[in-house]
Amino acid sequence: MDIFQRRESEVRSYCRSFPVLFSGAKGSFLFDEQGNRYLDFLSGAGSLNYGHNNPAIKQAVIEYLQGDNILHSLDLSTVAKKRFLERFSSVVLEPRGMDYKVQFTGPTGANAVEAALKLARLVKRRSNVIAFTNGYHGLSSGALAVTGNSFYRSEAFIHRNNVSFLPFDGYFGGDVDTVAYLRRFLGDSGSGVDLPAAVILETIQAEGGVNVASLLWLRDMAALCKEFDILLIVDDIQVGNGRTGSFFSFEEAGIAPDMIVLSKSIGGIGLPIALVLLKPEHDVWKPGEHTGTFRGNNLAFVAATEALSYWENAALAQEVRRKGLLLRDRLEDIRAGNPALITGVRGKGLIYGLEFAAEAVCKAVSGEAFARQLVIERCGPKDNVLKFLPPLTIAEEDLLHGVAVVAESVASVGVKSAS
Ligand SMILES: Cc1ncc(COP(=O)(O)O)c(C=O)c1O
């Protein structure tokens, strides 16, 4: 491990929480060099919804590679991209009655966020954007400007102008309607909040602590955006691709965002790709106005096309919802047994957060879980929320085993902190 300390930048982070040398992965498991098996509740921060080395997706990628097909193509038209667009239309968009154009951006989520923000400003010819407390949208300058956490914000000594932060749903507790709060700001020429081009939000703030927006809040926000002629951008990078039990996280709310940002698991087995879905009337880009060398990752198109097979019927979505309820029940049990340590359970589908009263306890629980061969990370502005993000394809027994490991870890930390 010496080479990592000597040669890799101090910026490395996940490897500090899970300090072993990983060498292989299959389904819901990672393996280290000694052959130890770790259950993965991190899933590449939401990039591995279909598991590590998913057999069907891997096979499609291998066949494509063996055929000497095009790997890199800038934004040239290729067979792989054509198939992806056709499949995405027929499997995702058309069955939902959604008419969106697809913009391929550079392959990180942050670059797709940059593109969406730029386009919204271009369409509305306004500068301001509304973002929410504890939102996370990436760390390039524009994306960082709409990210709330001061840990990230304070390291960039640049202007991050033209973003107004408003309270997310539940920020002041259940009784304060933060859409009404925003409406008051927008309707008052003395509020100091300029009419924005766009509102950008996550339906569930994953990095921000697994904060779940209610369906009512999402509907009211969408209506408010219409009322004030503001574009609504939903960042579905982490909680899209089926994570909440439907392909898009906002489907149950029945809203129709002007733009949707997707990345992470759209690439099937962790291959980098990011895209913006935009309503056709907003497609005012001039050719090449938001360009980038790696917008044509054909291997990712192939993986993404194969991964969409999971959305040809309702089986995976139903399983995510069913397992999500099991997960919620078990986490509620853990909370009930540890009222002094655990202050909340939040989530939907297969993303859940277990909130601890103290950051140190949450850290210790993650450490104990890793000692028991479970990889599970923390999130939230105080890093006191344990984030459950298993692959959507996880077997029920593995899911329950992972939760049992967390229960044991909480008990062990509880005993240690009491003694
Ligand atoms: C909701 C959301 N938006 C944007 C990003 C940024 O994506 P990337 O790290 O690929 O730039 C993330 C990454 O975690 C995310 O969760």
Per the DSSP assignment, residues forming a β-bridge with 300 are none
What average pLDDT does the segment 154-179 reach? 88
* Residue pLDDT, tens place only, 194-211: 999 999 999 999 999 999
Containing 26, the helix (H) or strand (E) segment is strand 22-26
* Residue pLDDT, tens place only, 42-94: 999 999 999 999 999 999 999 999 999 999 999 999 999 999 999 999 999 99
Residue 137 predicted with pLDDT over 70: yes
Residue 352: strand, helix, or coil = strand
Cα 263 → chain centroid = 8
Determine which of 245-249, 333-337, 343-347, 412-416 has the lowest per-residue pLDDT on average: 412-416
Q: Which atom of ligand 1 is nearest to the CA of 206?
A: 16
182 Cα to the center of ligand 1, angstroms: 25
pLDDT for position 300: 98
Q: Which DSSP category does 291 fall into? A: -
Do 2-54+314-418 and 58-311 have matching folds? Answer: no
Q: Which atom of ligand 1 is nearest to the CA of 274?
A: 10
* Residue pLDDT, tens place only, 96-110: 999 999 999 999 999
Going by C-alpha positions, the residue among 106, 99, 100 that lies closest to residue 75 is 106
Pocket test for ligand 1, best of 14, 48, 146, 238 (most atoms within 8 A of CB): 238
Residue 136 near residue 169, CB atoms below 8 Å: no
Pocket of ligand 1 (CB under 6 A): 45, 108-110, 113, 136-138, 202, 206-207, 235, 237-238, 263
> Is the model more confident about 151 or about 391?
391
Pocket test for ligand 1, best of 264, 266, 273, 377 (most atoms within 8 A of CB): 264
Residue 158 predicted with pLDDT over 90: no
Please tell me whether the overall predicted TM-score, pTM, comes out greater than 0.85 for this model. Answer: yes
The residue extents of the domains of the chain are: 2-54+314-418, 58-311
pLDDT for position 156: 62
* Residue pLDDT, tens place only, 356-388: 999 999 999 999 999 999 999 999 999 999 999
- Strands 231-235 and 198-201 turn out to be parallel
Residue 1's pLDDT band, with cuts at 50, 70 and 90, is confident
Question: What's the CATH number for 58-311?
Answer: 3.40.640.10
The percent of residues in the chain predicted with pLDDT above 70, rounded, is: 99
353 Cα to the center of ligand 1, angstroms: 18
**What does the mean pLDDT of the chain come to?**
96
The percent of residues in the chain predicted with pLDDT above 90, rounded, is: 94
What average pLDDT does the segment 153-170 reach? 84
Containing 276, the helix (H) or strand (E) segment is strand 275-278
Determine which of 150-159, 226-235, 388-397 has the lowest per-residue pLDDT on average: 150-159
Nearest-CA residue for ligand 1 atom 3 is: 137
Residue 342 predicted with pLDDT over 80: yes
CATH topology of domain 2-54+314-418: Aspartate Aminotransferase, domain 1 (3.90.1150)
Cα 298 → chain centroid = 22
